[in-house]
Amino acid sequence: DAGVTQSPTHLIKTRGQHVTLRCSPISGHKSVSWYQQVLGQGPQFIFQYYEKEERGRGNFPDRFSARQFPNYSSELNVNALLLGDSALYLCASEGSSGFKNIQYFGAGTRLSVL
Amino acid sequence: EDQVTQSPEALRLQEGESSSLNCSYTVSGLRGLFWYRQDPGKGPEFLFTLYSAGEEKEKERLKATLTKKESFLHITAPKPEDSATYLCAVQEPYGNNRLAFGKGNQVVVIP
Protein backbone atom coordinates (compact mmCIF):
# COMPACT_ATOMS: atom_id res chain seq x y z
CA ASP A 1 0.00 0.00 0.00
CA ALA A 2 1.22 3.47 -0.82
CA GLY A 3 2.03 5.69 2.11
CA VAL A 4 1.68 9.45 2.26
CA THR A 5 3.12 10.97 -0.90
CA GLN A 6 4.34 14.54 -1.20
CA SER A 7 5.48 16.54 -4.18
CA PRO A 8 7.79 18.01 -5.15
CA THR A 9 10.67 16.49 -3.19
CA HIS A 10 12.82 19.62 -3.37
CA LEU A 11 12.06 23.18 -4.32
CA ILE A 12 14.15 26.31 -4.64
CA LYS A 13 12.45 29.71 -4.64
CA THR A 14 13.46 33.31 -4.19
CA ARG A 15 12.14 35.79 -1.65
CA GLY A 16 8.71 37.18 -2.49
CA GLN A 17 7.68 34.24 -4.65
CA HIS A 18 4.75 31.92 -4.07
CA VAL A 19 4.90 28.14 -3.60
CA THR A 20 2.38 25.28 -3.67
CA LEU A 21 3.14 21.96 -2.01
CA ARG A 22 1.02 18.87 -2.56
CA CYS A 23 0.10 15.85 -0.46
CA SER A 24 -1.80 12.63 -1.12
CA PRO A 25 -2.88 10.80 2.05
CA ILE A 26 -2.91 7.07 2.64
CA SER A 27 -5.84 5.49 0.82
CA GLY A 28 -8.93 5.65 3.03
CA HIS A 29 -7.58 8.42 5.26
CA LYS A 30 -9.71 11.53 5.42
CA SER A 31 -7.58 13.84 7.55
CA VAL A 32 -4.42 15.68 6.52
CA SER A 33 -2.13 17.79 8.69
CA TRP A 34 0.76 20.02 7.65
CA TYR A 35 3.91 20.65 9.70
CA GLN A 36 6.99 22.80 9.22
CA GLN A 37 10.35 21.45 10.40
CA VAL A 38 13.28 23.84 10.55
CA LEU A 39 16.73 22.23 10.71
CA GLY A 40 17.52 21.02 14.21
CA GLN A 41 13.96 21.48 15.50
CA GLY A 42 10.91 19.30 15.87
CA PRO A 43 7.97 19.70 13.46
CA GLN A 44 5.64 22.64 14.11
CA PHE A 45 1.91 22.30 13.41
CA ILE A 46 0.54 24.50 10.62
CA PHE A 47 -2.91 23.18 9.62
CA GLN A 48 -5.23 20.24 9.95
CA TYR A 49 -8.05 19.39 7.54
CA TYR A 50 -10.73 16.76 7.92
CA GLU A 51 -13.37 16.10 5.27
CA LYS A 52 -12.31 19.32 3.48
CA GLU A 53 -12.92 21.46 6.55
CA GLU A 54 -10.16 23.23 8.47
CA ARG A 55 -9.98 21.68 11.93
CA GLY A 56 -7.02 23.56 13.33
CA ARG A 57 -4.47 26.24 12.58
CA GLY A 58 -1.10 26.73 14.22
CA ASN A 59 0.69 29.99 14.96
CA PHE A 60 1.66 30.87 11.38
CA PRO A 61 1.01 34.10 9.45
CA ASP A 62 -1.78 34.51 6.91
CA ARG A 63 0.78 34.01 4.13
CA PHE A 64 0.23 30.31 4.82
CA SER A 65 -2.98 28.75 3.54
CA ALA A 66 -4.18 25.28 2.69
CA ARG A 67 -7.10 23.37 1.30
CA GLN A 68 -8.29 19.79 0.98
CA PHE A 69 -9.93 18.38 -2.12
CA PRO A 70 -12.83 15.90 -2.49
CA ASN A 71 -10.33 13.06 -2.97
CA TYR A 72 -8.73 14.08 0.41
CA SER A 73 -5.48 15.25 -1.16
CA SER A 74 -4.27 18.60 0.06
CA GLU A 75 -2.27 21.66 -0.96
CA LEU A 76 -0.24 24.00 1.21
CA ASN A 77 0.31 27.46 -0.23
CA VAL A 78 2.83 30.00 1.00
CA ASN A 79 2.83 33.56 -0.39
CA ALA A 80 5.51 36.25 -0.26
CA LEU A 81 8.24 33.81 0.71
CA LEU A 82 10.78 34.83 3.33
CA LEU A 83 14.23 33.37 3.97
CA GLY A 84 12.86 31.99 7.25
CA ASP A 85 10.36 29.84 5.37
CA SER A 86 13.21 27.54 4.34
CA ALA A 87 12.36 24.21 5.95
CA LEU A 88 11.15 20.65 5.47
CA TYR A 89 7.37 20.70 5.03
CA LEU A 90 5.71 17.53 6.21
CA CYS A 91 2.27 16.18 5.50
CA ALA A 92 0.63 13.62 7.79
CA SER A 93 -2.54 11.64 7.28
CA GLU A 94 -4.80 9.84 9.73
CA GLY A 95 -7.89 7.73 9.31
CA SER A 96 -10.46 9.95 11.01
CA SER A 97 -10.75 12.67 13.62
CA GLY A 98 -11.26 10.13 16.37
CA PHE A 99 -9.50 9.88 19.69
CA LYS A 100 -6.83 7.23 19.24
CA ASN A 101 -5.53 7.96 15.78
CA ILE A 102 -1.98 7.83 14.54
CA GLN A 103 -0.55 10.39 12.15
CA TYR A 104 1.61 8.89 9.41
CA PHE A 105 4.07 11.22 7.74
CA GLY A 106 5.28 11.58 4.20
CA ALA A 107 8.92 12.12 3.25
CA GLY A 108 8.41 15.86 3.07
CA THR A 109 9.18 18.68 0.66
CA ARG A 110 12.48 20.46 1.22
CA LEU A 111 11.94 24.19 0.46
CA SER A 112 14.91 26.49 0.09
CA VAL A 113 14.25 30.23 -0.16
CA LEU A 114 17.16 32.27 -1.54
CA GLU B 1 6.48 27.89 26.62
CA ASP B 2 7.80 24.46 25.63
CA GLN B 3 5.30 21.68 26.23
CA VAL B 4 7.70 18.87 25.34
CA THR B 5 11.35 18.73 26.38
CA GLN B 6 13.65 15.94 25.25
CA SER B 7 17.00 15.03 26.78
CA PRO B 8 19.77 14.49 26.03
CA GLU B 9 19.80 16.46 22.77
CA ALA B 10 22.56 14.24 21.37
CA LEU B 11 23.89 10.86 22.42
CA ARG B 12 26.78 8.73 21.15
CA LEU B 13 26.64 5.06 22.06
CA GLN B 14 28.92 2.15 21.46
CA GLU B 15 27.19 -0.76 19.76
CA GLY B 16 25.60 -2.87 22.50
CA GLU B 17 25.62 -0.03 25.07
CA SER B 18 22.04 0.32 26.32
CA SER B 19 20.65 3.75 27.20
CA SER B 20 17.45 5.73 27.71
CA LEU B 21 16.00 8.87 26.15
CA ASN B 22 13.76 11.18 28.16
CA CYS B 23 10.69 13.13 27.09
CA SER B 24 9.06 15.36 29.71
CA TYR B 25 5.79 17.16 29.01
CA THR B 26 3.76 19.87 30.70
CA VAL B 27 0.44 19.59 28.86
CA SER B 28 -2.45 18.72 31.14
CA GLY B 29 -5.10 16.28 30.06
CA LEU B 30 -2.75 14.29 27.84
CA ARG B 31 -4.62 12.52 25.06
CA GLY B 32 -1.66 10.57 23.77
CA LEU B 33 2.13 10.53 23.63
CA PHE B 34 3.89 9.47 20.45
CA TRP B 35 7.42 8.40 19.57
CA TYR B 36 8.71 8.73 16.03
CA ARG B 37 12.06 7.92 14.43
CA GLN B 38 13.44 10.31 11.82
CA ASP B 39 16.39 9.64 9.51
CA PRO B 40 18.20 12.60 7.90
CA GLY B 41 16.15 14.21 5.13
CA LYS B 42 13.21 11.85 5.71
CA GLY B 43 9.80 12.15 7.31
CA PRO B 44 9.14 10.85 10.83
CA GLU B 45 8.38 7.14 11.07
CA PHE B 46 5.83 6.09 13.69
CA LEU B 47 7.14 3.89 16.50
CA PHE B 48 4.79 3.91 19.51
CA THR B 49 1.80 5.60 21.04
CA LEU B 50 1.05 5.60 24.78
CA TYR B 51 -2.16 6.80 26.38
CA SER B 52 -2.04 6.23 30.13
CA ALA B 53 0.55 6.25 32.93
CA GLY B 54 2.09 2.84 33.45
CA GLU B 55 1.66 1.80 29.84
CA GLU B 56 4.61 0.18 28.05
CA LYS B 57 5.19 -0.75 24.40
CA GLU B 58 8.06 -2.73 22.84
CA LYS B 59 9.43 -3.16 19.35
CA GLU B 60 12.68 -5.01 18.72
CA ARG B 61 15.38 -3.19 20.74
CA LEU B 62 13.10 -0.29 21.70
CA LYS B 63 10.79 0.01 24.69
CA ALA B 64 8.65 3.05 25.51
CA THR B 65 7.20 3.79 28.95
CA LEU B 66 4.90 6.53 30.24
CA THR B 67 4.43 8.24 33.60
CA LYS B 68 2.23 11.22 34.47
CA LYS B 69 4.96 13.72 33.55
CA GLU B 70 7.41 11.95 31.27
CA SER B 71 8.14 9.13 28.88
CA PHE B 72 11.27 7.12 28.34
CA LEU B 73 12.50 5.38 25.23
CA HIS B 74 14.87 2.60 26.23
CA ILE B 75 17.30 1.32 23.61
CA THR B 76 18.65 -2.12 24.49
CA ALA B 77 21.90 -3.35 22.92
CA PRO B 78 21.72 -0.80 20.08
CA LYS B 79 23.07 -1.44 16.61
CA PRO B 80 24.41 1.14 14.12
CA GLU B 81 21.10 0.99 12.25
CA ASP B 82 19.42 2.46 15.34
CA SER B 83 21.22 5.74 14.63
CA ALA B 84 18.52 8.36 14.05
CA THR B 85 16.72 11.28 15.66
CA TYR B 86 13.95 10.15 17.97
CA LEU B 87 11.04 12.58 18.24
CA CYS B 88 8.52 12.71 21.06
CA ALA B 89 5.13 14.37 20.55
CA VAL B 90 2.06 14.94 22.69
CA GLN B 91 -1.48 15.18 21.45
CA GLU B 92 -3.07 18.28 22.88
CA PRO B 93 -6.40 18.24 24.70
CA TYR B 94 -8.18 20.29 22.04
CA GLY B 95 -10.78 19.47 19.41
CA ASN B 96 -8.24 18.67 16.72
CA ASN B 97 -5.47 16.10 16.80
CA ARG B 98 -2.47 18.39 16.45
CA LEU B 99 0.84 17.05 17.71
CA ALA B 100 3.28 19.18 19.72
CA PHE B 101 6.82 17.89 19.18
CA GLY B 102 10.02 18.16 21.16
CA LYS B 103 13.32 18.98 19.45
CA GLY B 104 14.36 15.35 19.34
CA ASN B 105 17.13 13.10 20.66
CA GLN B 106 19.89 12.60 18.09
CA VAL B 107 21.38 9.14 18.60
CA VAL B 108 24.56 7.86 16.97
CA VAL B 109 25.56 4.23 17.51
CA ILE B 110 29.21 3.53 16.82
CA PRO B 111 30.23 0.05 15.62
DSSP codes joined into one string, chain A: ----EEE-SEEEE-TT--EEEEEEPPTT--EEEEEEE-TTS--EEEEEEETTEEEEE-S--TTEEEEE-TTS-EEEEE-S--GGG-EEEEEEEES-S-TT---EE---EEEEE-
- Could you tell me the pLDDT band of residue B95, with boundaries at 50, 70 and 90? low
Of A41, A48, A110, the CB nearest to B96: A48
> What's the pLDDT tens digit per position in A67-80?
999 999 999 999 99
pLDDT at residue B105, as a whole number? 97
In the stretch 47-76 of chain B, residues with CB closer than 8 A to chain A read: 49, 51
pLDDT at residue B59, as a whole number? 94
Of B31, B41, B99, the CB nearest to A103: B99
- Spell out which residues of chain A touch residue B90, defining contact as CB-CB under 8 Å: none
Query: pLDDT above 90 covers what percent of chain B?
Result: 80
Looking at chain A, which residue has its C-alpha nearest residue B104? A42
> What's the pLDDT tens digit per position in A13-69?
999 999 999 999 999 899 999 999 999 999 999 999 998 999 999 999 999 999 999
* Pairing outcome for strands B99-101 and A19-24: unpaired
pLDDT at residue A1, as a whole number? 61
Bridge partner list, A32: A49, A93
> What's the pLDDT tens digit per position in B10-63?
999 999 999 999 999 997 778 899 999 999 989 999 999 999 999 999 999 999
- At position B92, the amino acid (one-letter code) is E
Does residue B33 belong to the interface with chain A, where contact is any CB pair within 8 Å? no
Q: Compute the nearest-CA separation of A18 from chain B (Å).
A: 23
